[in-house]
Amino acid sequence: MARQSAPVLVTRPQAEAKAFAAALTARFGPRVRPVVAPLIAPRYLTPDIPAQDYAAVVFTSVQAVEAARRLGISLPNLAWCVGRKTAEIAGKAGFQARSADGDAEALTRAILSNPPDGRILYLRGVDTRGKLLEKLNYSGIDTDVAIVYAQEALPLSPKALALLTSPGDLIVPLFSPRTATLFRKALPTATQASLHFAVMSAAVAEPLDDLPRAALALAAQPDAPGMLDAVESLLAGLPAP
């Protein structure tokens, strides 16, 4: 007997959610049924940028790259990026992008190992983790920060609520601690789904610590391919039909 497609609830911002849903379909085909239901959406800001001759910019998200593009101001060519996807988007935006291929800790190490000759401008969102700014300044790399976007919370969509309040296995990939926190807060009291979480890092798993779940898979590396591998491990562990 063939197994029905496993629903996968994708809660990333709309553009990233669609891209990850397409990646799920490309890799797993009819084994999965992605449902896009963003829990956050970016709102771009226009802060005053310090008048400095910067040597490099730092991006820890694709939203920061888009925010930089929308600023419409001259920025340094060199861009340090947290991961390959952010670096890819920065490259398309015209930056000479260098990827740390990891998280904020990896990005800090990468910059410290090859520091630019001059001040750095860190463009980020309202909510952030990792204390990148403090670590760079403490290590002697003069760094300014500008908050260029906010991630605003969205309610769960009717399709998402229907999945959560129906019995059955549900795979939920979560990419950030904030999204995990928002997901937990948005869970309806009538939740009946058996939840299988794929998480980008241990920090993403923390808000889910005491939440009833069937399984949790930690990505081996903090990027989309790592999350696809985590989803595959969850699919392999689903009970037989």
DSSP assignment of 150-205 equals EEEE-PPPHHHHHHHTSSEEEEEEE-SHHHHHHHHHH--TT--EEEEEEESSHHHH
Q: Which fold has domain 6-39+154-237?
A: Rossmann fold (3.40.50)
The predicted structure's pLDDT at residue 241:
65
Instruction: Give the whole-angstrom CA distance, residue 188 versus residue 101.
Output: 36
Residues of the chain with pLDDT under 50: 1
Q: Which of 171, 175, 177 is nearest to 219 (CA)?
A: 175
Angle between helices 84-92 and 62-71 (to 10 degrees): 20
Res 130: pLDDT: 67
> pTM value?
0.82
The pLDDT score that the predictor gives to residue 5 is: 93
The domains spanning 6-39+154-237 and 42-152 adopt the same CATH topology: yes
Both tokens assigned to 213? 């779940």
Phi-psi group of 72: left, alpha or beta (phi > 0 → left; psi -120 to 50 → alpha; rest → beta): left
d(CA 104, CA 106): 5
Q: State residue 234's pLDDT score.
A: 98
Nearest CA among 42, 27, 66 for reference residue 176: 42
Cβ atoms of 204 and 129 closer than 8 Å: no
Residues 6+ apart with CB under 8 A from 109: 100
pLDDT score for 1: 42
Q: Answer yes or no: are the C-beta atoms of 10 and 36 closer than 8 Å.
A: yes
Cα gap 27→229, rounded to integer Å: 10
Mode of pairing for the β-strands spanning 168-174 and 143-153: unpaired
Q: Tell me which of 3.40.50.300, 3.40.50.10090, 2.20.70.10, 1.10.10.60 is the CATH number of domain 42-152.
A: 3.40.50.10090
DSSP state of 206: G
The domain ranges of the chain are 6-39+154-237, 42-152
